[in-house]
Amino acid sequence: MLISHRHRFAFIHVPKTAGSSVAFALWPHADHVDHYWMTRSLALVGIHVNHYAPYRMKKFRTHTPAAVLQRQLPAEVFADLFKFAFVRNPWDLLVSSYHYLREKVGHHRGPVASRLQSFAAYAAYEIRRGKMSQSAMLTGHDGRLLVDFVGRFESLADDFAYACRRIGVEMDLPRANSSRHADYRSYYDDRLAAEVGRFFAADVERFGYAFDDAAAGRQRGRTPAPMPGGRLRRAA
């Protein structure tokens, strides 16, 4: 997560949705609180998060959900921030996560992913684990979206440019933490595609994805952004 109280934005970093590239680009405009004495003290004992500091000095984990940010900030401060995130076709996201974990040296779940004999085995592992949800990162306890704009990985350049205009900065988008793999659809048979679709049902319904969505994603253009009540609109 990146926050800037000066530029009044919060970027909610959903894993494997080009969030590392977005964070790298916006890093110069974000608040950096590692110098705060309490945060430094916690880091010395291996704690790299600080929810007890004054709100401008709070340090959050990279993949902090929007609901946690809402609880940790004064209501008027949270409301005033432009909150945005990116999402990705869930079937594609799972393939990207599989390769990332197998290739990322030092990731704590890398050995688990590497021991699994196939992508299907990895998909079954994530379904049992039950923690991979883009919707859960962006919604409150009542299921309503807590962010002001939801960009799509499939239209990343245009949607990042829109977010930058809202923030009031002009930045190029680098490529970071990307994994290389074949078209995600080649990893699935009908049974596995259906199982993964059921697992990601909330994401599929909320963000309008489908399994055979590669061409549709490129043609969709501007991504939906939430309105009050969790409805979606086209961003202007």
- Give 61-92 pLDDT, tens digit per residue: 999 999 999 999 999 999 999 999 999 999 99
Confidence at residue 200, expressed as pLDDT on a 0 to 100 scale: 97
d(CA 48, CA 29): 21
Confidence at residue 113, expressed as pLDDT on a 0 to 100 scale: 85
Confidence of residue 149 (pLDDT cuts 50, 70, 90): very high
CATH architecture label of 2-222 = 3-Layer(aba) Sandwich (3.40)
Confidence at residue 228, expressed as pLDDT on a 0 to 100 scale: 37
**Domain locations in the chain as residue ranges:** 2-222
Average pLDDT, the chain: 88
Higher per-residue pLDDT: 143 or 175? 143
Longest CA pairwise span in the chain (Å)? 54
Residues contacting residue 93 through CB under 8 Å, at least 6 positions apart? 16, 17, 132, 134, 153
Confidence at residue 111, expressed as pLDDT on a 0 to 100 scale: 84
The predicted model scores a pTM of 0.86
Confidence of residue 224 (pLDDT cuts 50, 70, 90): very low
pLDDT in tens, 180-213: 788 999 999 999 999 999 999 999 999 999 999 7
pLDDT in tens, 13-44: 999 999 999 999 999 999 999 999 999 999 99
Confidence at residue 125, expressed as pLDDT on a 0 to 100 scale: 95
Closest CA to 30 of 103, 105, 82: 82
Q: Strands 224-226, 232-234: parallel, antiparallel or unpaired by DSSP?
A: antiparallel
| Predicted confidence (pLDDT) at residue 226 exceeds the cutoff of 50 | no
Mean pLDDT throughout 113-142? 94
Helix segments in the chain, DSSP class H: 19-26, 37-44, 66-72, 75-80, 90-103, 110-115, 119-129, 134-138, 156-167, 190-199, 201-207, 214-220
| Predicted confidence (pLDDT) at residue 58 exceeds the cutoff of 80 | yes
Confidence at residue 90, expressed as pLDDT on a 0 to 100 scale: 98
d(CA 103, CA 214): 24
* Secondary structure of residue 189 in the 3-state scheme: coil
Confidence at residue 177, expressed as pLDDT on a 0 to 100 scale: 60
Q: What angle do CA 121, 154, 204 make, to 5 degrees?
A: 55
Paired residues of 84 in beta bridges = 11, 149
Confidence at residue 222, expressed as pLDDT on a 0 to 100 scale: 41
